[in-house]
Amino acid sequence: MVGVDLTDVQRIQDQTPPDSGAVSGAGLLHGALLFDWDGDDPELLRLMMTRKGVDLETAVQVFFNGAPERYNMIAKADLPAAAQARCGLLDSIHRRIVCGFYLPDPERGLGLAHSAMQDWINRQDIDGAAGRSGRWVFDREMLDLQMTGPGRAIVRPRSATPASGPALWERLARMVMRDRPARTDTAPDS
């Protein structure tokens, strides 16, 4: 495990409000984009990328900044020791992208990361046709919505009309107070 400078961890934690878990401002996102993959501690980027509020475009840009193409066709067991931390972090970011942890900005979708993602998927398709599969595979259909048109809102606002009928507490009170059939204690027939 890579050692982490406690002052750096404290600095990142100080930038994030403890109650919301959300990224505080563009500073943290900008820091993730400027991360030096060859010189900085990967644990710092891991902390930044696990925060709520990191959007899909930023996550994809950070992933490609890590030069995944250098290690995509190398088996995990064959990685040089110096590359294991980098690949572990790339694995983590990739899993979050694929599972939908990073939500797209409805107005931008993949934005500036669109062409890099399109190139990656095209190379992935070529590799697949040749019978090869890399370490980091993206599902074209899952990302197609964000790559082919304007972003669409993922969360739709609920209607503001109040529910009709009695309030929940009134319904619960009626259920509790409802007359129940009297239970007769009878001994079982033997």
In terms of residue numbers, what domain contains 96?
A: 6-147
Per the domain annotation, does 159 fall within a domain? Answer: no
| pLDDT for the residue 2 | 39
27 assigned to some structural domain: yes
Does residue 136 carry a pLDDT above 50?
yes
- What are φ and ψ of residue 17, in 5° steps? -65, 135
Is the CA virtual torsion 71, 59, 103, 117 positive or negative? negative
What rounded mean pLDDT belongs to the chain?
A: 76
- Mean pLDDT, rounded, for 151-176: 66
> Which 8-state DSSP code applies to residue 52?
B
CB-based contact 77:83 (threshold 8 Å): no
Q: For the chain, what is the domain count?
A: 1
Give the residues across from 22 on adjacent strands.
52
In a domain, 1, yes or no: no
Q: Which of 49, 53, 84 has the alpha carbon at shortest distance from 63?
A: 49
100 within a domain of the structure (yes/no) = yes
User: What are the backbone dihedrals phi and psi of residue 22, each rounded to the nearest 5 degrees, phi first?
Assistant: -90, 155
Within a domain: 35: yes
Q: Dump the DSSP string for 73-105.
A: TS-GGG--HHHHHHHHHHHHHHHHHHHT-SPPB
Give the phi and the psi of residue 58 in degrees, each rounded to 5. -60, -45
What integer pLDDT is reported at residue 13 of this predicted model? Answer: 47
**64-82 residue pLDDT tens:** 999 999 999 998 889 888 8
Classify residue 154: in a domain, yes or no: no
Q: Is residue 182 part of a domain?
A: no
| pLDDT of amino acid 19 | 37
Lowest mean pLDDT among 101-105, 135-139, 157-161: 157-161
- Local structure of 109: helix, strand or coil: strand
| 158 in any annotated domain | no
Per-residue model confidence as pLDDT tens digits over 18-57:
433 444 556 777 888 888 888 888 898 999 898 888 888 8
pLDDT at 16: 45
Residue 105 pLDDT: 81
